[in-house]
């Protein structure tokens, strides 16, 4: 069972902090995403506390959830941002995150994106290849700027996570192979417009054990030592994101243990540590609330058909991900086994198979838990279904932080050429 302290049951009805989900559903309609502001803040503060004895910059990986209200919450707590596009830089800046706290990752930064990042004066480019380095050097030289860089090193470590979100194996597209790192750094040091500043590593997402981090950091420590011997002034080690969350019954190591590993493996190098957590800040701080449209009895199974679908939350269909599915009103304690599915015209539009849920009727509210990260940001309008709105709750207040678009907004975004 997922532990989500900020979505408690009070008299058998689920709340977000001190607001009944029924009340939000009445006003906003379903489906909608709902985030606990307090949970987000606490998750961030737990990282701050865990790393309090190290020089650390926490750069929230904003791809996990880039709503401006989420970013503003974290910006006010002092967070920086790990970004992967110009759009994300713009979002971070709009939320008040200083450019001096932005690290820019990603395998395919375009020339115009690099130019924008340089004009903003971001803290660090996490460079993924030599062609990218050359492009950054050319653009920085033309603009008479200096780009502070780290290479993202692929340490060839198995993260023991889903293959679609594992990034640190030699076969993955990410980073510079550790075997080629020293040559890459030597070339970088010779290029104009480039300041070699750090080393970066990110081995994957939803890691549930510390051993792969430990192994990766060990390899990075060795590399940093050698780079320093070669005369490079390495001041920053970016250790990426990836600490998992409890979706089902995973036991996640405490953030203090994660921080201790960073300290043990890297502390002696006297570098500033950058961390890029995404999921572990937002995942358990958000849920997707949906209504049962029909309860359908098939030949072999009972289906709970929801008004949320794979277009709203793609993780179950894309990664076979488990999300807890809870009745918002569990006054009726009797349980039943359902296949929980969405309305989209694809068999893959399935949230859970053979799942035990409180007996439901058409119109009942369902909460799909742990949906705060990689939920709303990966949503689409497939089947011309409107993007689900997002709501943020803090104590007994709530606000719509992204509205549900109107059909007109969506249809009018298309243009019909006059020669059609
Ligand atoms: N840094 C880099 C360079 C990344 O690529 C990622 C995630 C992070 C940090 C944040 O990792 P986190 O702390 O969130 O694990 N859509 C997938 C997850 C994709 C992760 C991509 N990179 C999912 O829903 O599971």
How far from the centroid of its chain's Cα atoms is residue 16's Cα? 21
Contact 252, 9 (CB under 8 A): no
For residue 256, pLDDT beyond 70: yes
Tens-place pLDDT, residues 69-114? 999 999 999 999 999 999 999 999 999 999 999 999 999 999 999 9
From 13-17, 285-289, 299-303, 351-355, the region with the lowest mean pLDDT = 299-303
Q: Which of 327, 264, 319 is nearest to 292 (CA)?
A: 327
User: CA-based diameter of the chain, in Å?
Assistant: 71
**H helices present in 149-210, as ranges:** 181-190
Percent of the residues in the chain that have a pLDDT greater than 70, as a whole number: 98
Q: Residue 119: count other Cβ atoms within 10 Å of its Cβ.
A: 11
Buried b (16+ CB within 10 A) or exposed e, 390-417: bbbbbeeebeebbebeeeeeeeeeeeee
Lowest mean pLDDT among 40-54, 149-163, 321-335: 149-163
Alpha carbon 253 to its chain's center: 18
Distance, CA of 32 to CA of 348 (rounded, Å):
21
What's the mean pLDDT in 127-153?
97
Give Cα 74 to chain centroid, integer Å.
Answer: 13
Across-strand partners of 236? 198, 272
3-state helix, strand, coil in the chain (%, to 5): 35, 25, 40
**Can you tell me which atom of ligand 1 is nearest the CA of 283?**
14
Helix/strand number for the chain, H first, E second = 12, 21
What is the tens place of the pLDDT at every residue in 8-65?
A: 999 999 999 999 999 999 999 999 999 999 999 999 999 999 999 999 999 999 999 9
Which residues contact ligand 1 via a Cβ below 6 A? Answer: 61, 64, 82, 105, 165, 202, 205-206, 240-242, 276-280, 315, 319, 374
Q: Whose CA is nearest to atom 16 of ligand 1?
A: 374
Q: Which of 419, 349, 339, 334 is nearest to 382 (CA)?
A: 349
pLDDT in the model for residue 191: 98
Residue 172 has pLDDT above 90, yes or no: no
CATH of span 105-277: 3.20.20.10
Residue 150 has pLDDT above 50, yes or no: yes
How far away, in angstroms, is 139 Cα from ligand 1 center? 28
Tell me what the mean pLDDT of segment 276-287 comes to: 98
The pLDDT of residue 4: 65
- d(C-alpha 336, C-alpha 345), whole Å: 25
- Indicate left, alpha or beta for 61 from its phi (over 0: left) and psi (-120 to 50: alpha): beta
CA–centroid distance, 299 to ligand 1, in Å, is 40
Quote the CA–CA distance of 388 and 30 in Å, as a whole number.
8
Taking the CA of residue 373 as reference, the ligand 1 atom at the shortest distance is: 24
CB 140 within 8 A of CB 194: yes
Alpha carbon of 344 to those of 296, 378, 381: distances in Å?
A: 15, 16, 11
- Sheet containing strand 9-10, edge to edge, reads 9-10, 13-16, 19-20
- The region of weakest confidence among 97-106, 154-163, 273-282, 363-372 is 154-163
* Residues 173-219: tens digit of each pLDDT: 788 999 999 999 999 999 999 999 999 999 999 999 999 999 999 99
- What is the pLDDT confidence band of residue 158, given thresholds at 50, 70 and 90? confident
Count of CB atoms within 10 A of residue 235's CB? 16
Nearest atom, ligand 1, residue 167 CA: 5
Higher model confidence: residue 196 or residue 162? 196
CATH number of 9-36+283-411: 2.40.37.10
Strand partners, 225: none
Q: Which residue owns the Cα nearest ligand 1 atom 7?
A: 205
List strand residue ranges (DSSP E) for 92-193, in order: 102-104, 124-127, 147-154, 176-177
Which helix (H) or strand (E) segment is 226 a member of? helix 211-229
> Ligand 1 center to residue 372 CA distance, Å?
13
Residue 168 has pLDDT above 80, yes or no: no
Domain boundaries, the chain: 9-36+283-411, 105-277
Rounded distance between C-alpha atoms, residue 222 and residue 235, angstroms: 15
Which residues, 6+ apart, have CB-to-CB distance to 179 below 8 Å?
none
Residue 305 · residue 357 · CB < 8 Å? no
Which of 208, 279, 283, 370 maximizes ligand 1 atoms within 8 Å of its Cβ, making it the mutation to test the pocket?
Answer: 279
Q: How far is CA 385 from CA 306, 353, 380, in A?
A: 13, 23, 8
Strand, helix or coil for residue 406: coil
Using CA atoms, how far apart are residues 272 and 101, in angstroms rounded to an integer?
12
Output the CA 300–ligand 1 centroid distance in Å. 37
Average pLDDT, the chain: 96
The model's pLDDT over 346-390, given as tens digits with 9 standing for 90+, comes to 989 999 999 999 999 999 999 999 999 999 999 999 999 999 999
Best probe residue, ligand 1, of 46, 47, 63 (max atoms within 8 Å of C-beta): 63
> What DSSP state is assigned to residue 324?
-
Tell me what pLDDT residue 2 has: 44
Is 158 an annotated catalytic residue? no
């Amino acid at each position: 069972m997922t532990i989500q302290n900020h979505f408690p049951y009070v008299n058998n009805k689920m709340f977000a902090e001190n607001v009944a989900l029924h009340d939000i559903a009445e006003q906003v309609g379903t489906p909608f995403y709902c985030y606990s502001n307090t949970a987000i803040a606490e998750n961030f503060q737990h990282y701050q506390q865990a790393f309090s004895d190290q020089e650390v910059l926490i750069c929230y990986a904003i791809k996990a959830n880039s709503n401006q209200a989420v970013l503003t919450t974290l910006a006010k707590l002092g967070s920086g941002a790990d970004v992967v596009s110009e759009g994300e830089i713009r979002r971070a800046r709009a939320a008040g995150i200083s450019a001096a706290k932005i690290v820019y990752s990603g395998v395919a930064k375009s020339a115009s994106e690099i130019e924008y990042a340089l004009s903003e004066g971001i803290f660090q480019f996490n460079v993924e290849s030599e062609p990218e380095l050359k492009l950054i050097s050319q653009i920085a030289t033309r603009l008479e700027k200096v780009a502070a860089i780290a290479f993202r090193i692929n340490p060839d470590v198995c993260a023991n996570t889903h293959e679609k979100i594992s990034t640190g194996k030699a076969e993955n597209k990410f980073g510079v192979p550790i075997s080629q790192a020293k040559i890459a750094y030597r070339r970088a040091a010779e290029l104009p417009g480039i300041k070699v500043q750090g080393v970066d590593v990110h081995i994957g997402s939803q890691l549930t054990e510390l051993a792969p981090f430990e192994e990766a950091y060990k390899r990075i420590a060795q590399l940093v030592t050698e780079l320093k011997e070669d005369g490079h002034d390495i001041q920053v080690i970016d250790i990426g994101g990836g600490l998992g969350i409890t979706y089902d019954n995973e036991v996640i190591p405490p953030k203090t243990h994660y921080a201790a590993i960073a300290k043990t493996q890297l502390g002696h190098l006297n570098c500033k540590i950058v961390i890029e957590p995404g999921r572990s800040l937002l995942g358990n701080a958000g849920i997707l609330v949906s209504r049962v449209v029909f309860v359908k009895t098939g030949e072999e199974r009972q289906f709970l058909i929801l008004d949320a679908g794979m277009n709203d939350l793609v993780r179950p269909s894309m990664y076979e991900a488990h999300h807890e599915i809870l009745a918002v009103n569990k006054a009726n304690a009797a349980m039943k086994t359902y296949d929980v599915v969405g309305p989209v015209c694809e068999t893959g539009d399935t949230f859970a198979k053979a799942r035990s849920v409180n007996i439901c009727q058409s119109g009942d509210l369902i909460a799909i838990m742990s949906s705060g990260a990689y939920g709303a940001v990966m949503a689409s309008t497939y089947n011309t279904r409107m993007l689900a709105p997002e709501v943020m709750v803090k104590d007994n207040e709530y606000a719509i932080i992204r509205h549900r678009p109107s059909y007109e907004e969506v249809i009018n975004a298309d243009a019909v050429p006059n020669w059609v």
